[in-house]
Structure 1
Amino acid sequence: MSTSSSRSRLASTGAAGLALSGLVLTGLVVARPAVAADAAGYQNIRINEVTSSNSDTVELYNTGSTAVSISGWKMSDDSFSAQSFSPSSSTIPAGGFVTFNSPKGLGDSDKLVIHTSGGTVVDRVDWATDKAKPAMARCGGDGTGTWVTTTATTTFGAANATGCPASVPASSGVRINEVTSSGADTVELFNGGTSAVNIGSWKYVDGDTGHSPATVSSSSPSATTVPAGGYVTFDSTIGLGDNDSVFLLDGNGNTVDSVTWATDGAKPSYARCANGTGAFRTATAATLGGTNSCSGTGDGGTGGGTGGGGTGGGTGHLLGGGGSLTSGCTPEAPSGTGSTPSGTSAWPGGLDVTIADNVCAFTTSTGPEGRDVSGLAFAPADPSVLWAAKNKNWLYKLVKSNGKWIPDASWSAKGKQIRFAGGSGEPDSEGVTVGGNGHIYVTSERDNTKNSVPKDTIMEFDPAATGTTLAPVHQWDMTSQFPQLDTGSKDDANLGFEGVGYVPDSWLTANGWTDPLTGAAYNPANYPLHGSGLFFAGLEWDGTLHVYGLNSNGTFTTFGTVATGKPSVMDVTYDAGTQRIVATCDNTCGETHTFLKVNSAGAIVPDVTYTNPAVMPTDNLEGFAIAPTSTCVNGEREAVWSDDGIYGFGSGSSSYGHALYSGTFPC
């Protein structure tokens, strides 16, 4: 495993982030200033009444027992980003009201989302055509009642009329009754009405304004009807985190109910007391599918009605759901943390990140502690497959199951061991990439059975080969090029090839790359045995990329080096979506990714550097991969990181013992 502690020789400077010339990255997020912590009791503020006619007025209500400051809060609808509003008061007293006029018009079919000054979603209400005329209001209890279209005059600044209207739809009896943000992220619905309610077309969404609502019926277990006096439970497919929400929408898009909680409020469970009608409180135990026990800590939190949509303005959540640690899985705390390079830009994708593997999923006979997952690479021809290299001579073919990346049981449920040519040794496997021939190429820094001696190699494996141990089809040894690593020190030997990326010839020629060996435009025909692309190996020692043509006869051509501007490199990938080579560095250089281009002089140079999403831990995150653009949905595609030490945020956190994280990157 390559920890950062042995990088004392590395420089502390990095490449300045530059604009991606000629590219448009949708959903680009600029660097954000630090924001204040959310006001105490923010989750107790509920949208209570709203009208989409004339003044476009909004009323907020405080269901809690203490006053809450809403200074700096913002609002958005379904077509504009969060904007400031001017409330009648900057503080809402316990049991009190505040009103304001929307800074933008509210439409006939629209939504209203309230955000704290830090960007956390507080509450939301959605309505279909004309449902907010004369107003949408909570009926049956301010802040907690059912959302209906009022038939009487509006009551802004005062309690909603008790008869608004006299009869409410049967769906009003369905309430979010309990939710847990640990384990499977489960939601429980309770029907307090006298007749069954069909929820086959109903949807739910969390507090991430970048998430689209998911149907209840498509979740697991699938549910289409809530019986009178009965329960339905389902696991959220979009994850639930700390400082989060659940918003329940009917088949017409109207809000039915909602709940918002603060940090750890839904662990182990957040439940209504009394069952089906009362305010939410943190419970001491989950009672999913049954009457709430109502033993726990009351914090005044309430249910209401909200949801999420739109982009920008929110803080990210690291969503858990991994279960408890198993015996023998021993994470390793991060080491070698360095500064972020100047000029680095904020992560351009979504702010939320999800834990993407099962806890302690990568324990092996040579790595029983479960850590050491390093390089990652999507298969370009089959983006449903993610390849992962584990340092102590293991290769994994991963596929998605219930939102997580798990070993493909049809290939090997526990991964396959890899060997050097001749079947010897334990490659310190670090980087992985998929070549133009569909074969898997893995880098090694040393032989783990002789870990003080460098062995910087690239090995080619046929993924179709049978058996649980793989021997390389070809192996190329570049060790002699790096005498600075051969000092007799295992730390120096551990600073070799950390990542590798296959770059197609078509990109190099189309962008006018100058062949360092000829001084002219690169002509692949000059190298008839190298295949259809070159391999860029990242050297952890100094952050340089070393370019090779790997010949079918076992020889190789060296095309020189590329400076990344980083003190170190942990993974390398070529991304066809941005048409860039990506050099990744972990906490050694501030958890950053430098995108490189071919400049007008024909040289490969840094173009822009991004940090990780702010919600992610500062760990030895050594692997990084971006899904092909063929997987794009709503302008985004998946990005995956690997934690070499499976430390997460440390002991007791939901991320402890997990190796993989999943987020989004623009298409």
Structure 2
Amino acid sequence: MTFSGLVLTGMVAAQPAAAADPAGYQNVRINEVTSSNNDTVELYNSGSSTVSISGWKMSDDSFSPQSFSPSSSSIPAGGFVTFNSPKGLGDSDKVVIYTADGTVVDRVEWATNGAKPATARCGGDGTGAWVTTTAATTFGAANAAGCPASIPAASKVRINEVTSDGADTVELYNGGTSAVGIGSWKYVDNDTTHSPVTVSSSSPSATSIPAGGYVTFTSGIGLGGNDSLFLIDGSGNTIDSVTWAASGASPSDERCSGGFQTSASATFGSANSCSGSGGGGGQTGHLLGGGGALTSGCTPEAPSGTGSTPAGTLAWPGGLDVTIADNVCAFTTSTGPEGRDVSGLAFDPANPSVLWAAKNKNWLYKLVKSNGKWIPDASWSATGKQIRFAGGTGQPDSEGLTVGSNGHIYVTSERDNANNTVPKDTVMEFDPAATGSTLTPIHQWDMTAQFPQLNTGNKDDANLGFEGVGYVPDSWLTGNGWVDPLTGAAYNPANYPLHGSGLFFAGLEWDGTLHVYGLNSDGTFTTFGTIATGKVSVMDVTFDAGTQRIVATCDNTCGETHTLMKVDASGAIVPDVTYTNPAVMPVDNLEGFAIAPTSTCVNGFREAVWSDDGIYGFGTGTSSNGHALYSGTFPC
């Protein structure tokens, strides 16, 4: 047979599956395997409906398909099933899963000790990158807890698009920050008579894939309906796979946020055309919702200060569709035209159905979901609560907020808007259970003296102080080996008995640095120094337990980007990776950013929310004009 100029012998294209294959079998994926502890295999259903696995079989690299006894004969949508391999699995081996009719569903291969303690799809969504886990197995639950802190570069290469319409083209995408050599990598389809073919021997030949780049080649083994593609590195580890139904890859099957879906046309070398959510590979998203007429007193403010995106920034890793998530002009207040805009955002870790929002001038909102929109919780306050400095005075220029371990809301202020030429860089602690329409802080910590460069008598300089703040638990700092700048030794929380159970990282808009503080219960504070984010500015700060990273967010000043910070081998907190916003979003003063806890995950994704400080959207006359909140998805 001839495929695009390649002459092949002794190979038979995959045959269409019989009608006996259960509906949705392509959505069942091997999710985790251990070659010890009874040689357990976990399957995950990434689809939206239950799939029967009655009569299914498995094989490895030495035994033919065998029946197995799963923990359940069917897998619900988003559910797991486990079973013990009917024969032993080796240190270097593979697992292949078949339907009762013999159709290959999924397969995974691993090199020596790759499945000890386990090899797992990081993220646990049935489509994540295969890695060797660093902790005990996580059967029956998402794999994030066992995934390494840093995913290997090779595992960030993904199958991004496939066609089986005669051209049989495969596209790979590198979502990492460095080039990956793929010259020795191989691929194979679900025909078990086929031997894997090297990528470098395919046409056009490819030996590496750049960071954020694509490689496209023609399959040398032919691809058919009801087929699969498996990508294997030079050591024998599975990197990625995709399985499709009879017409799934004709004209194209492409990666989107909810998995692969059929596309009306191929988009090789450019953004995928996903009509649903986006996801890996730089697809085109859609801005959904909005509308409604602007009301009196709601005057959107055009964005200012737009700057370039930092070098090495990667595409948004979650879905690229974005929804307008508030009602038009929902945050008007009595404190002037700037009262319309929302800055800081934070999900409540104790109740992820609650989103806290700080708004300048000097207002705090408790938001809950209603018909897909974030609206003020009427049981707390339908119009928000005004906040004051200690003593009940002034108008805090409230920009950032975070939720502490005690459930209290900590808000940063750059200045007193009643005297806006003078900086007042403070952190205020509020008890959300306090009654009344106005809140005064339980404690207030004033760091203004640390930033003399802001005290020039100019209101613009005074407005470049604390823009965001994030609470970071001591357990993360100690668990990752953070070195205390004050002692030069490993951070020991017991040295600071009044600070509670975590530190606060305040983002300075002036220069993009993070300033670390222990906020003591007696009203004093400990300064732990300054951390560079690699950005010229910071507008919001959050700690995300899902990625185990501190996230420093910058608006259009830095190209709408989010830098994830980690503790490096020397014990310093440094930038790890930077992502831009979904491309569909407006380039505005998007000053707030929050990611929902992983407890809210659905099909491997959770909500991300942005706030527009000027509710400009795409400008006058557009459906986004007059809205402050945007909702998208971020990987679990």
Shared fold (TM-score, shorter chain, > 0.5): yes
1:105 aligns with 2:74: no
2:369 is paired with a residue whose SS is strand
Map residues 237-636 of structure 1 onto 2, 5 A cutoff.
314-368=283-337, 371-636=340-605
Which is bigger in relative contact order (C-alpha 8 A, separation at least 6)?
A: 1
Query: Residues 447 and 454 of structure 1 are in contact (CA less than 8 Å); yes or no, is this contact kept in structure 2?
Result: yes
SS in 1 for 2:475: helix
Deviations 1:44-89 (A, max 9, x none): xxxxxxxx9x9999xxxxxxxxxxxxxxxxxxxxx9xxxxxxxxxx
| Structure 1 SS opposite 2:538 | coil
Distance 2:585 2:502 in 1: 34
**Other structure's SS at 2:333 match:** coil
CA displacement, residues 470-516 of structure 1 (integer Å, 9 cap, x when unaligned): 01010000001111100000000000000000000000000011111
1:421 is aligned with what amino acid? A
Q: Which amino acid aligns with 1:210?
A: S
Q: Deviations over 1:552-604 (max 9, x none)?
A: 00000000110111110000000001111110000101111111111111111
Does the CA contact (< 8 Å) of 1:113 and 1:307 recur in 2? no
Q: Does the aligned pair in 2 maintain the 1:459–1:474 contact within 8 Å? A: yes
Change (3 A) 1:351 1:547: same
1:210 aligns with 2:257: yes
In 2, the alpha carbon distance for the partners of 1:340 and 1:371 equals 27
Q: Distance in 2 between matches of 1:645 and 1:307?
A: 29
Letter in 1 for 2:521: S
The two structures have a TM-score, normalised by structure 2, of: 0.60
Give structure 1 regions of 4+ aligned residues with deviation exceeding 4 angstroms: 24-30, 54-57, 107-111, 113-116, 306-313
Identity rate, percent: 80
Alpha-carbon separation, structure 1, partners of 2:280 and 2:407: 38
Counterpart amino acid of residue 105 in structure 1:
G
Aligned length: 413
Question: Alpha-carbon deviation of 1:351?
Answer: 1.0
Residue 566 of structure 2 contacts residue 576 of structure 2 at CA under 8 Å; is this kept in 1? yes
Matched to 1:22, the amino acid is S
Residues 373-408 of structure 1: CA deviation (Å, up to 9, x unaligned): 101001111111110000100000111111111111
Deviation, structure 1 residue 323: 1.9
Structure 2 CA distance for aligned equivalents of residues 259 and 414 of structure 1:
46
- Alignment partner, residue 124 of structure 1: none
- Give the structure 2 partner of residue 194 of structure 1: none
Query: Structure 2: which amino acid aligns with 1:646?
Result: I
Deviation at 1:311, TM superposition (A): 5.9
Assess, with a 3 A threshold, how the Cα gap between structure 1 residues 602 and 310 changes in structure 2: closer, same or farther.
Answer: closer
1:454 and 1:485 in contact (8 A); partners too: yes
> What residue is the counterpart of 2:150 in the other structure?
22
* Change in CA separation of 1:113 and 1:386 when aligned onto 2, cut-off 3 Å: farther
- Which whole-Å deviations, capped at 9, do the CAs of 1:1-20 have from their partners, x for residues lacking one? xxxxxxxxxxxxxxxxxxx9
CA distance in 2: counterparts of 1:359 and 1:423, whole angstroms: 31
Change (3 A) 1:574 1:587: same
Residue identity in the other structure for 2:305: G
Q: Is the 8 A contact 2:345 2:592 kept in 1?
A: yes
SS of the aligned residue for 1:480 comes to helix
The answer to whether the Cα contact below 8 Å between 1:23 and 1:578 also exists between their aligned partners in 2 is: no
Distance 1:106 1:56 in 2: 16
Residues 535 and 547 in structure 1, CA contact (< 8 A), matched pair in contact too: yes
Aligned to 1:661: 630
Q: Tell me how far 1:411 sits from its aligned partner.
A: 0.5
| Contact 1:430 1:499 (8 Å CA) reproduced | yes
Q: Which residue of 1 aligns with 2:50?
A: none
Residues 1:384 and 1:24: Cα distance change in structure 2 (over 3 Å): farther
Give me the whole-angstrom Cα distance separating, in 2, the residues matched to 1:613 and 1:379: 24
Cα displacement (A) at 1:325: 1.8
SS in 2 for 1:499: strand
Distance 1:573 1:518, change over 3 A: same
Q: Give yes or no for contact 1:622–1:643 (8 Å, CA) kept in 2.
A: yes
For normalisation by structure 1, the TM-score amounts to 0.57
Offset, 1:457: 0.2
Shift in Å at residue 28 of structure 1? 6.6
Asked if 2 retains the 8 angstrom alpha-carbon contact of 1:330 and 1:369, the reply is no
Q: Deviations over 1:158-203 (max 9, x none)?
A: xxxxxxxxxxxxxxxxxxxxxxxxxxxxxxxxxxxxxxxxxxxxxx
DSSP-derived class of the 2:517 partner: strand
Q: Note closer, same or farther for the CA distance 1:109–1:593 as it changes in structure 2 (3 Å cut).
A: closer
CA distance in 2: counterparts of 1:360 and 1:609, whole angstroms:
31
Distance change in 2, residues 1:370/1:548 (3 Å): closer
| Contact 2:353 2:369 (C-alpha < 8 Å) held by counterparts | yes
SS at match of 2:418: helix
Question: Secondary structure at 1:618's aligned position in 2?
Answer: coil
Gaps of 5+ in 1: 1-19, 33-51, 58-78, 80-101, 122-207, 214-246, 248-254, 261-305
Report the aligned-residue RMSD: 3.5
Paired residue secondary structure (2:421): coil
Please give the alpha-carbon distance, in whole angstroms, between the structure 1 residues aligned to 2:631 and 2:250: 27
Residue 212 to residue 370, structure 1, CA distance change in 2 (3 Å)? farther
